[in-house]
Amino acid sequence: MSHVPAATRALRLLRYLATRPGPVAATAIASELGLPRSSVYQLLEAMAEEGFVVHLPEEHRWGLGVAAFEIGSAFLRHDPLERLARPLLRQLVEETGATAHLGVLHGADTLYLLKEHPPHTPALVTGVGVRLPAHLTASGRALLAHLPRAQVRALYPDAGHFVDRTGRGPRTPGELREVLTAERRAGFSVEEGQVSEGFSSVAAAAFDHNGAPAAAISLTVPAGDRPLPVPALAASAREAAAELTRRLGGRRPG
């Protein structure tokens, strides 16, 4: 149990407001958080003085204030995701000899934020700042697999929204749905030659405090004569993703 209950309540209140589509009445806040109304009003008034919340008197509701926006903007400026993930990627490279990436979703694309690779490795198209179709990349599918189905349908409403690079990978919403269901159950995603001929990748998702997919860590290796060592690569990717989730203060969805 927290030794600073007032601070804990204030942070819970901020997090609650951040998840709402708009301002909320104080009575609703008290009900949702299970707090006395008097305590909620005291917290809101104190937080309003510091600019973290704002009162809308005509609507009898409360919303996030400018100070909350400033905190969020500072978070983005400090590149915390990359800073937290980089040591994990470097460790993965040392342990596996594979090229490690950190990717996030950008619409229906995978956007690569970090890349760490062992010396003397073949060049890959997955450089920092590169965007590739999410349904073809292991990183993208690891994230898509944990999005609400309605959101995935909005990104891929029909076959015309599926890009083909090597003739492999899902080409219809139904095929993508089947792949995502299987990979969500497995806890990792695999692509073999769907992005670049001769290369295969395994990826696992890291999650934020709401249990939503925040980023994916992937390992890419050349496809040789031997079968892809999926279990070993998947275990390494999942372990690193779990550590990134922990560092982000996140939680894996149930």
pLDDT in tens, 197-241: 888 999 999 998 889 999 999 999 987 666 778 899 999 999 999
Q: Indicate the SS3 state at residue 212.
A: coil
Question: What gap in Å lies between CA 62 and CA 81, rounded to an integer?
Answer: 30
Q: How many residues are there in the chain? A: 254
Instruction: Tell me which architecture the domain covering 5-74 has in CATH.
Output: Orthogonal Bundle (1.10)
What's the CATH number for 79-247? 3.30.450.40
What percent of the chain is predicted at pLDDT more than 70? 91
Separation CA 214–CA 116 (nearest Å): 19
Which residues lie below 8 Å from residue 110, measured CB to CB, with a gap of 6+?
A: 103, 104, 131, 132, 133, 134, 137, 139, 140, 143, 216
Count the Cβ atoms, other than its own, within 10 Å of residue 172. Answer: 13
| Domain ranges for the chain | 5-74, 79-247
Please tell me the distance from the alpha carbon of residue 43 to that of residue 49, in angstroms, as a whole number.
10
pLDDT at residue 77 greater than cutoff 90: no
Are residues 132 and 110 in contact, defined by beta-carbon separation less than 8 angstroms? yes
| Contact in structure between 252 and 207 (CB atoms under 8 Å) | yes
Model confidence band, residue 2 (pLDDT cutoffs 50, 70, 90): very low
CA 24 to chain centre: 26
Mean pLDDT (the chain) is 88
Average pLDDT over residues 8-33: 90
Share of the chain above pLDDT 90, in %: 55
Integer CA distances (angstroms), 29 to 10, 22, 42, 143, in order: 11, 12, 13, 31
